[in-house]
Every structure is written in structure tokens, then in C-alpha cells.
Structure 1
Amino acid sequence: MTLKMHGPQTAPEIGKRLSITGEAARQQLVRLAEEGLVAARSEARGVGRPSQFWKLTPAGNGEFPDTHAELTVHLLRTIQSRLGDAALDAIISAREEETREAYLRGMEGADDLRERVDRLARIRSAEGYMADWQEMPDGSLLFVENHCPICAAATACQGFCRAEVAVFESVLGPDVRVERLEHIIAGARRCAYAIAPADLA
């Protein structure tokens, strides 16, 4: 969970997050590596020996749920092959509208952009996206999703990802710009978005 939420880290960094010693964390990581769930790489940082950074392997990522992945992909492909692209686009549009309406209800009473982003992170986390956010030095906000519970469906049909950005912009406000910086579907560890008022963006 720590590697999923925060990306590659050294054993001492993981130990600090878990309130255990770096050696205790390293022993757990070695066991996970023996199971094929994590892997280590060396990275030179300044003077001294290279640091060993641990990250999740594809098998490790597979430990996190991808809800009914096979069935979802099969249904999407069946709709596309039997009913055509227009039918699939209609389904994505309907889901986009339903999601937008639900998120807008969740934003009621939140007038500040930071509060809206915080609420969005809570909503998305409840849906399994393991979302978080932070303010950047330039005043923009970095919104991060450490897991994609619909990854298989989004891989099979990237219309879901396009709709996602549109929904974010819609619920965060008319003068807010959302830009995807990292994308799980493209091989990144997480999906990350820069969020800023249009005049700042």
C-alpha cells in the first residue's frame, strides 16, 4: 500500500512511513521480492553508495482490485463489434453525465477550489482510485490517483479517460483548467493532473 500510494522508495523511507526501522522494512521488502511483488533498482544520488529504491512489479500492482475486469472488457468489445462505435460513445457519454451529476452533488457548498479538489479526492478514493492532492509552488494543485479500478476498461476504450478530464473540469468550476500529466494507461505509476484557475494555467 505504501509503494502504491507514494511510488518507489528506499527501505529507510518506507520504515519511516510505517514507524518501523529501515532494516525491518528491508526484510519485508526482500520477502515481497521473493514473491515477485516488488523489485529494487539502484540509483546514484550525490556522493556515496547508490541508494536502493523499491517499486511494485506488475504482479504487485495486480494485487489491487480491477473490478470485474474481464467481463467489462468483453462487454465493451461486444458492444463495439455488434452495435458499433456510436453505441459505445453513447454509453460513455451517459456514464460521463451520471458521474458529473453525482460529483456536482458532492461539491454543494464548496466555493473554494482547494475544497472542491479535496472533495473530489475523497469521492474518487471512495470509488477505489486512492486519490490525493497537494499544492504546488506555482499555486497550481497536483491531483493524483494512485490506482485505477477501471484500468482494464480504460485500456480497452480510452474514451473513459477523455470523459474523466471533462468531468473534472466541469465539477471543479467554469474557470478551472485540468491537464493530465501522467497516465497509468501510458505506463505511468499513477494518473496525475495539474489543476489551476484558467488565468493561472
Structure 2
Amino acid sequence: MTLKMNGAMTSAQMGKRLNTTGEGARQHLVRLSEEGLVTEERRIKGRGRPSVYWSLTQQGHDHFPDTHSDLAVDLLDSIQKTVGPETLDKIITLRGERTQERYRGALDQCASLAERVERLAVLRSAEGYMSTMEVAPDGSFLLFENHCPICAAARLCQNFCRSELEVFRALLGPEVKVERVEHILRDGRRCAYQIRRHPSEVI
């Protein structure tokens, strides 16, 4: 869970985060490595010995839930083959509209953009996306999705990713700019969205 949420870490960093020793964390990471769940990478920073960073392998990522992935992929493949991609696109659009309906009531209660993004992160986490929100140095907001529970379906049909971005833009309003800056399907560790008001708007 710690590697999933924070990305590659040294055993010392892991030990500090988990309130244990670096050596204790390293021994546990070695065991996970033997099971094929994590891998190590040596990084050189300046002089001295390289630092060992640990990260999840694909097998490690697969331990986190992918909501009914096999069934979803089979159904999507059948839809594309029997009624065509246009019908599948309509289904994805309908799913996006229903997602907006579920979220809108909660977001409408928020007084500021910061509160809306934070509430959106809570809603997404409840659906398995392991979402967090941070404020960037430039004052914009970053919405992180550390896990994608529909990743298998999205790999088959990336219109799911397009629809997700459209949902965020619709919920946060025309005065807000939402950009995807990291993408799991483009070899990113997670999906990340930068959210800011358009320059013409008062923050």
C-alpha cells in the first residue's frame, strides 16, 4: 500500500514512513521481491554508493482490485463486435453522465474550488481510485489517482479515460481548467490531474 500510494522508495524511507527500522523494511522488501511483487532500482546521486529504490512490479499492482475486470473486458469486447464502437461510445457517455449525477450533489455543497477538488478525491477513493489532493507550489491543485479499478476496461477502450476527463471538467465548471498530466495507460505510475482557474478568473 505504501509503495502504491507514494511510488519508489528506499528501505530507509519506507522504515521511517512505517515507524520501523530501515533494515526491517529492507528485509520485508526482499521477501516481497522474492515473490515477484516488488523490484529494486539502483540510482546514483553524486558521489558514493548508489541508493536502492523499491517499487511495485506489474504483479504487485495486480494485487489491488480491478473491478470485475475479466467480465468487463468480455462484455466490452462483445459489444464492440456485435453492435459496433458507436454504441459502446454511447454506453460510456451514459456512464459518465450517471457519474456526474452521483458526484454533483456532494460537490455543490462546497464553497471553494479547493473544497470541491478535495471532495472529489474522497468520492473517487470510495470507488477504489485511491485518490489524494495536493496544492501545487503555483497555487493550482493536483488530483492523484494512485489506482485505476477499471484499468483493464480502459486498456481495451480508452474512451473511458476521455470520459473521466470530461466528467471532471463538467463538474468543476467552465471557469476551471483540468489537464491530465500523468496517465497510467502511458506508463505513468498513476493518473494525475492539474486543476486551476483560467487566467481570466479571480482565484
CA distance in 2, matches of 1:147, 1:157: 17
Q: Per-residue deviation at 1:67?
A: 1.2
CA distance in 2, matches of 1:38, 1:109: 41
- In the superposition, the TM-score normalised over structure 1's length comes to 0.97
Equivalent in the alignment of 1:70: 70
- Which secondary structure state, in structure 2, belongs to the residue aligned with residue 65 of structure 1? coil
- Which secondary structure state, in structure 1, belongs to the residue aligned with residue 154 of structure 2? helix
Q: Per-residue deviation at 1:155?
A: 0.6
Instruction: Give CA-to-partner distance per residue, 1:134-192, whole Å, 9 cap, x none.
Output: 11111111111000000001111111100101111111222111111111111111001
Which amino acid counterpart does residue 171 of structure 2 have in structure 1? Answer: V
CA distance in 1, matches of 2:45, 2:191: 26
CA distance in 2, matches of 1:189, 1:107: 27
- Which secondary structure state, in structure 2, belongs to the residue aligned with residue 192 of structure 1? strand
Q: Does 1:104 align with 2:104?
A: yes
Instruction: Give CA-to-partner distance per residue, 1:83-140, whole Å, 9 cap, x none.
Output: 1112101101100100011111111220201100100000000000000011111111
Equivalent in the alignment of 1:38: 38
Equivalent in the alignment of 2:14: 14
Equivalent in the alignment of 1:180: 180
- What aligned pairs does 1:40-59 form with structure 2 within 5 A after superposition? 40-59=40-59
Which amino acid counterpart does residue 94 of structure 1 have in structure 2? Answer: L
Which amino acid counterpart does residue 103 of structure 2 have in structure 1? Answer: Y
CA distance in 2, matches of 1:32, 1:83: 44
Residue-pair matches, total = 201
Q: Per-residue deviation at 1:46?
A: 2.4
Structure 2, unaligned stretches of length 5 or more?
Answer: none
Which amino acid counterpart does residue 127 of structure 2 have in structure 1? Answer: E
CA distance in 2, matches of 1:161, 1:125: 17
**Closer, same or farther: CA 116–89 of 1 in aligned 2, 3 Å:** same
- What aligned pairs does 1:109-124 form with structure 2 within 5 A after superposition? 109-124=109-124
- Which secondary structure state, in structure 1, belongs to the residue aligned with residue 108 of structure 2? coil
- What aligned pairs does 1:144-155 form with structure 2 within 5 A after superposition? 144-155=144-155
**Closer, same or farther: CA 129–200 of 1 in aligned 2, 3 Å:** farther
- In the superposition, the TM-score normalised over structure 2's length comes to 0.96
Equivalent in the alignment of 1:170: 170
Moved over 2 A (4+): none
CA distance in 1, matches of 2:20, 2:93: 47
Which amino acid counterpart does residue 156 of structure 2 have in structure 1? Answer: A
Give % identity.
54
Structure 1, unaligned stretches of length 5 or more?
Answer: none
